[in-house]
Structure formats: structure tokens, C-alpha cells
Structure 1
Amino acid sequence: MDIETLRRDTPGTANRLHLNNAGAGLLSRSTLRTMTSHLELEAAIGGYEAADQERERIDAVHEHIARLVGGRADEIALFDNATHAWNAAFYSLEFNPGDRILTGRSEYGSNVLAYLQTARRTGAEIVVVPDDASGQLDTTALADLIDDRCKLVGVTHVPTSGGLVNPVAEIGRVTRAAGVPFLLDATQSVGQFPVDVAEVGCDMLTATGRKFLRGPRGTGFLWVRPEMLGDLEPYVAETASATWDGGRGFTWHDGARRFETWEVGYAGALGLGAAVQQALDLGIDEIGRRAFALGARLRDGLDAVPGVSTHDLGTRRCAIVTCKVDGMAAADTAAALAAQGINVTVTNPVQSQFDTENRGVHPLVRLSPHYYNTEAEIDRAVEVIAGLAPGARAIRRRDVRS
């Protein structure tokens, strides 16, 4: 992987030390050109006409995403974000009083709110599967909790609030053996390291374009196992998802496109396709190895700083690193890093409700490198955070007094 060439193709690396890829990755010039050229085409000949002219490239986006996750093009539906993709899958399931939804402590906040709403509406029950000693979802406990009342296992692969990588392949083996649908939120994993739906064994998977895939904001997708379609009733019917029968009825379109809507931001969709193709060309295995290595370097460096603690769980940890500087609010730490040109963000308890109930560590500073970051950038971030630690602050106070 030629890092210098990749950085030249990434304009943002010239301006900032970007460690917020779990929020939004930096666009490459090639992705940017793909998007702007389509917008220019729309301006030149009209939006409908541009879509007709570029139909082959637009349809190929489904192919690219399918290759990325190990599925088929007809199993992919495009969305304007991952939350809408996840909602399309979740709200297509039917829940009744006494039904159970099993999830983990690391579940994403918007998913939790959807569970709570559904429990309120239907009388279904939310069951939080406990973690094992490492902090990842306990698959033995999951298997013990599954019974004939369980209608869904919904799990976040990598939480928004840390480097944990849940054991999703083992979760998939448990759900397949029990015949229970498995909805995987892969928002923070797809694009960061390999995710193959056949290996995972999930029935539905959702992801975004804007994070580790380095695609544009306002893009996302849903993958659905074909055998699952008969158990799902899309909660929106419109001209892109269904065909009118000429009377008072309709039929759903074949495959996952029954979840799509007619209106699509084609510049964004093409940008997503370009970003996915770039990841495929680079090799998602190689991307994963480098991302994990940079994350480990950052985590080890922070762990070596007195007065700084990291808070990532699990036996396998990815390129998301969370930390806290003793005696300093996470927002103040993030602001101090921003003043040094380093992009990070802060975890939000509202986005990690069950984790907050269990640990109470949030908010934390979240740093998330990606493959185009350099080792020197990682070391620079550690150096700046070390300068914020209590010992360094005490030295500065003594220097001021003297």
C-alpha cells in the first residue's frame, strides 16, 4: 500500500491530522471527481437525462457493494444513510406481546430507541445479553437466552463508543442453529476490515458510506439474505419498491430493491460506488491489517502515558480508540486536540445507553485512524495528549509560577 500516493489523493490530509474516521472518513480525489462530474452532467443536460445516461454505472454500485460484503447485487438496497437502512430492516419484522428482542450492551443508540419504541407499541420485550469477561457479547449467554419467544437478535458489530469487535460469526452460528433472524449493524466495520455475510451468518446487514468506506455523507445500504425476504414486510410501499396490479393491489419487487425509494441522490450513490471500488482495489484485507495496526499503536502509546487511560473492550480491538485524560473533561481534551489540528470526537452516553448503564465511563475522547494515516501522525497525537496529562499540566503551572 503506497501511503504517500494515497495521501496525495486525499486532500484533507494536507490540512488536518484526521483521526475521526469513525465519524466520517476523508474523501479521495477520485471519489470527489465522480460526484462532481455527475452534478455537472445534471446541470448540463438535466437530472433525469443524466440518470438515464449513467444508468449502467449507477446499477453497478449494487455490484460493487455486493462484492464488498460477499453477497449478490439483487441482495443490496441503497439508502440515504445507515439508520434508514437499519429501520427498513427492523420495522419490516412483526412483533407481538411477549416477543423478545435480544441485543448487546454495545448496541447503537438509535437502534436502542427503535427497540424501546417497538416494545412500547407492541408489548415486546427487550433482553440485553450480558458481556463476557472481556467485554464482548457473551455467546454462551446468548444461546441460553434464545427460546421460542425470541423473534430477533440485533447486534452492533463495532460500537460507536470503542474498539470492541463483537464475535459476530459465533453469534451467527447461534442464531442459525436456533432459526432466529440476525440483524447486524456493520456501520463501523464495513470498510475498516473484511466483513463477509456468509462467514458472519447474519440475515440482514446495514452499513454507511461516510465512515471507513470513505464515501460521501448521505449514503448507506442494506443487505438481505434472499431466504429472509418472505419474513419481511417493508413498511414503505412506493413506485420503486412495488408494482401496481392494475386494480386495488400490488406486488413487491424482487430482491432487496423492494426496500428502496424512487428518488436517489445519484451523485452520492456514484460516489459511494467509487469509494467501494477503491476499497476493493486496495484490498480490504490489507486495509484491515493496516487499520488495526495503527489502532494498536495508538492504544499502546496512550496506555504508556501516566494519567491517560484507554477504555476499549473485547478480545479483538479495531482502529477505534477511546481514552480519558485524568482531571480533564473529554470535550476539553477534544478541543485541545482540535487546536493542534487533530480531528477527534467525543462519545455520547445517549448513543451507547446500555453500555453507559453498565460502565458509566462516557463521555470519552474517541480517536479513529485509517489506513491513510501515518505512524508519525499516530505518535503526534499521543504526544499532544501526553502534554495534556496531569503531570505535564503540573510542570506547565510550575513554569508559569517561576
Structure 2
Amino acid sequence: MIVNDWSDREIAGLRAATPGCSQVVHFNHAGASLPSQATLEAMARQLQREADIGQMEAGIEGARLEEEARQAAADLLHANPQNIAFASSGSAAWGQAFAALGPWRAGERILVGRHEWAGNLACMAEAVKAGARLEVIPCDETGAVSVSSLEQMIDTHVRLIALTWLPANGGLINPAEAIGQVARRHGIAYFIDAGQALGQLPCDVQSLGCDVLKGAARKFLRGPRGTALLYVREGFLEQLAPRCLDVLSAPWDGQGFTLRNDARRFETSERSLVLIAGLANALKEANQLGIARIRGRIQELATKIRDDLRQIPGIELQDLGLPGQQSGLIAFTLEGWDAFALKQRLAESNINIGANGTAYTPLDMQARELPAVARIAVSYLNTDQEIGVLLQALAQLAREPGQTSTSTSRP
């Protein structure tokens, strides 16, 4: 159920507790959101402890904060703490889990949505070199992954179904739960890239039916850059053998080195407890606010922006998915303007948006013949006043001669 019961007072308080809100008009939350002052202070305290008493000695308090973060992540995903590992990025988490599946053989099949993140595809390319086949699941009439088409593609050679739940290049929300039902029914491994979903949509791994789910925490969760979550289903864990091991992931038991029996077999003993301290606070803030409430506010603001963008001459929305059921990522193009040049021009006025080139979601961008899109990504922190500033700036640029860029694949 979508809940939207935010008061102006609550939003004002959250913005006052977020330093960046007074500095920029930020609509790039899908790239990285603005951390709260409390998250910054949590990191500063751990950093100061390390300076005061020594980094290893400060690890005692750091370890406590790490377990708080693990419990908060488990609460967010409706999982158990032992199913949660932390990583430096979503790509690193996905790559580690994929590599842990072991060698691929000729004829084995990987089924992916057309919207798959390029970093995941890069990992799969290694399996293709070994003879595996990477196949794209057709889309339905809304542009989403077609569950009925997926069902027809299943045979005994399918080893993995991989889904980017919310693509980085627009507002589509893929039917992750329905795809999970297909995967479970046929006993096929199912990986979800939830990078844009974490902190924006409720994520219940039990309902999703996934074996692996990952996502960076810097986006809608408002965590520090360099942190990510990796969920591994308990019954699936024993099938995964990580490539890189150390004294944490495979400790010495007196006889030899034995893999841990929890998701921390994907972690190493050397990690930033400063970043983990910030992650713990960001996760607790998201859980306290309630993800269903966050979803309601984001959807309301995103719907308003989409409606208003349609009134600006030269702007064309490039979103997929059912209207009214899309995410807070709004993809568009402005006639005569390169997406990256547009992003840079708005940044000169302290307005942050994103831009995505073909290199990030190549299968979908090529299928739709889109070299690049500009992207507005909404948070519960955004206000009607900020929306007005953004729309006024875009309307002004729509009246100016366009600008081009030399690249369509930059971050």
C-alpha cells in the first residue's frame, strides 16, 4: 500500500537536517543522494575514535555499529542479518556473487531483461566467452520484461535469470516478484539488481523470491559512497564459492580454512568502519521514515514533474512503464540539446540532474535508438518550490539554441 502522509513541517525538518539542501537543488538522487547531518556525524565520530585511540582499537565500537547496520539492512529487506553482506559498490557485490556461481559450460543460458545494467552484462560476458548464451527476454507492451515470454524461454539449460528491477535510464518498474515466481517454480537462480529500488520501493526478498539482491547505498538510501548491500538467500549460499577469500570469509579452524556459513563469506577483514558507521545511520533513518511512505511521496512528486514536463515545448519523456506506476527516475530529451550538455548547463545554476548514455544500459538504449537521456531523480526531500526552479530553468533552456557534447557515455 502506498502511503502519502507527509506534512510540510516534517519535510522542512528533514531538509534542515540535510546540509546539501541549502546548497543545491538536487534532482540526482539516482546517482547519489544527499546524506543527513546525522550520517556525517556518525562517520566523523568513528573517524575521530580511530585518530584518538588507534584504528584497530576503535574497531570494537566500529564492529558494534557494523552489526547495527547489518540488522537495519535485514529489516529493510525482510531478511535475517546472516543473509546480509556489505560491499564497496553494487557492481562489486553483483560481480562477486556471479563469479561465485563457478565455471560456465557451453550451452548454458542466461536470461536477462533488456534493461540490464552494463556492469552486470560485463560480468556475464566472461561466461559467454566460456560458451554460455546470453539471451534477452522480450518486453511487453509497456516496455517491461514480459513474464509470459520468460516462461516460454525456460528449459533445462537456463542457469540464471538476471533482472535490473528499476532501470537507470527511466521510470520503468519491472515485475520482479512475478519473475521470481517463474524462477522458483523452475528451480533457476535469480539475481536482482535493486540499485535504484533500495530506499525508494519496499523490498521484501521473501516476496521477490530472489537468490541474490544487491544495491549501492549512496542512492535513495542516502548512505555514504563506497557502501552497498548484498543479500544472499540462506539455502542458496552453499552453492556459491567466492573467488577471493581471507581470514574473515574463510577463517582458520585449526585444521584448515573453512568458508563462513553466512553471507559474510563475501566480505574481507579490511573495510572502512567509518563508512559503515554512516551506513548504519542512513539505514536506520530510512527504516524509521518507512519505505512505503517514501514511495508515496516520490510517486506524487514524480507524477507532477512528468505532467509539467509535457507542457514544455521540445521536451519528450523517454520513460517506459505504466503511467502512474512508474518510479522516481524521469527520463527525457530536450530538442537540440545533448543530455550531458544540458546536465552541465543546469549545474551552473546549482541544479543537479543526471544523464545516461548508451554505455550504462546498452541493450535498451540501442533497442530504442537513444544515444543519451537526461534524468531527473526525485527524493522525499524535494519540494514544490524546487520543482518550480527546475521547470523554469528547463523552459528557459528550451527557448535557447541547443548544445552538443563530444560524449554520450560519461557519468
Aligned to 1:255: 262
Give the distance between the partners of 1:82 and 1:393, measured in 2 at CA. 38
Write the mapping of 1:363-378 to structure 2, written as runs, cut at 5 A.
363-378=372-387
Task: Determine helix, strand or coil for the equivalent of 2:258.
Answer: strand
Letter in 1 for 2:275: G
Letter in 2 for 1:4: A
Give the distance between the partners of 1:208 and 1:329, measured in 2 at CA. 27
Aligned to 1:34: 42
Task: Determine helix, strand or coil for the equivalent of 1:373.
Answer: coil
2:132 equivalent to 1:150: no
Q: Contact conserved, 2:231 with 2:263, CA < 8 A, in 1?
A: yes
Give the distance between the partners of 2:56 and 2:82, measured in 1 at CA. 23
Q: For 1:219-239, what per-residue CA distance to the aligned partner results, in whole angstroms no more than 9, with x for missing partners?
A: 012101101012211111211
Q: In 2 relative to 1, CA 51–245 (structure 1 residues): closer, same or farther, beyond 3 Å?
A: closer
Residue in structure 2 matching 1:108, options 117, 139, 151 = 117
Residue in structure 1 matching 2:219, options 205, 211, 221 = 211
Write the mapping of 1:2-401 to structure 2, written as runs, cut at 5 A.
2-94=10-102, 95-120=104-129, 122-247=130-255, 249-315=256-322, 316-389=325-398, 392-393=399-400
Give the distance between the partners of 2:62 and 2:316, measured in 1 at CA. 50
Give the distance between the partners of 2:125 and 2:366, measured in 1 at CA. 15
Identity %: 36
Task: Determine helix, strand or coil for the equivalent of 1:86.
Answer: helix
Q: For 1:319-358, what per-residue CA distance to the aligned partner results, in whole angstroms no more than 9, with x for missing partners?
A: 1011111112112211221122100121021111101221
Q: In 2 relative to 1, CA 173–210 (structure 1 residues): closer, same or farther, beyond 3 Å?
A: same
Task: Determine helix, strand or coil for the equivalent of 2:223.
Answer: coil
Work out the number of aligned pairs and report it. 390
- More divergent stretch after superposition (57-66 vs 327-336): 327-336
Letter in 2 for 1:165: I
Give the distance between the partners of 2:188 and 2:210, measured in 1 at CA. 10
1:245 shift after superposition: 4.3
TM-score (structure 2 length as normaliser): 0.93
Q: Which runs of 5+ in 2 are unaligned?
A: 1-5, 402-411
Give the distance between the partners of 1:348 and 1:21, measured in 2 at CA. 17
Give the distance between the partners of 2:400 and 2:251, measured in 1 at CA. 66
Q: Contact conserved, 2:354 with 2:377, CA < 8 A, in 1?
A: no
Which consecutive segments of 4 or more residues in structure 1 shift more than 6 A? none
1:375 shift after superposition: 1.4
Give the distance between the partners of 1:207 and 1:272, measured in 2 at CA. 13
Q: Which runs of 5+ in 1 are unaligned?
A: 395-402
Q: Contact conserved, 2:62 with 2:274, CA < 8 A, in 1?
A: no
1:117 shift after superposition: 2.0
Letter in 1 for 2:170: G
Q: In 2 relative to 1, CA 243–393 (structure 1 residues): closer, same or farther, beyond 3 Å?
A: closer
Q: Contact conserved, 1:103 with 1:155, CA < 8 A, in 2?
A: yes
Give the distance between the partners of 1:371 and 1:281, measured in 2 at CA. 14
Greater per-residue helix proportion:
1
Task: Determine helix, strand or coil for the equivalent of 2:184.
Answer: helix
